Amino acid sequence: MKPKKESGKQDMMVASAIAGGFTGCWTWAIVYPLDVIKSRIQTSPLTALSKESRMSVWQMGKDIVKTRGAQHLFRGLNVTLIRSVPVNAVLFPVYEFMLLRLNGQQQH
């Protein structure tokens, strides 16, 4: 049986991993349409750089919805969510672990 202090740290890391996974999903779900618009602007032809033909983020979003439908703003989200769960589930506890370690180092 593990000591209470060690078990508490382990529980905290598991809770942090779960929170990280959920947070990563929510973050991507909210930001993903803007990321699609950004990518579309970045991959537009160089000839679109003239002032007359350059689209704003809002205009590009409206154009995507008009030509391809609103669902296009979420195309590929499922793969991004699958990727974000393990990435953020590892990132959050590692961040907290390092924060605890660095704070412990400063106290000595």
How far is 35 from 28, CA to CA, in rounded Å? 9
Which comes out higher in pLDDT, residue 24 or 52? 24
pTM value is 0.73
AA letter at 103: N
How far is 87 from 105, CA to CA, in rounded Å? 27
State the pLDDT confidence band at 108, using cuts at 50, 70 and 90: very low
Q: What percent of the chain has pLDDT over 70?
A: 84
State the pLDDT confidence band at 53, using cuts at 50, 70 and 90: low
How far is 22 from 85, CA to CA, in rounded Å? 7
Res 46: pLDDT: 75
AA letter at 13: M
Which comes out higher in pLDDT, residue 7 or 52? 7
pLDDT in tens, 10-33: 888 899 999 999 999 999 999 999
Res 74: pLDDT: 97
How far is 61 from 70, CA to CA, in rounded Å? 9
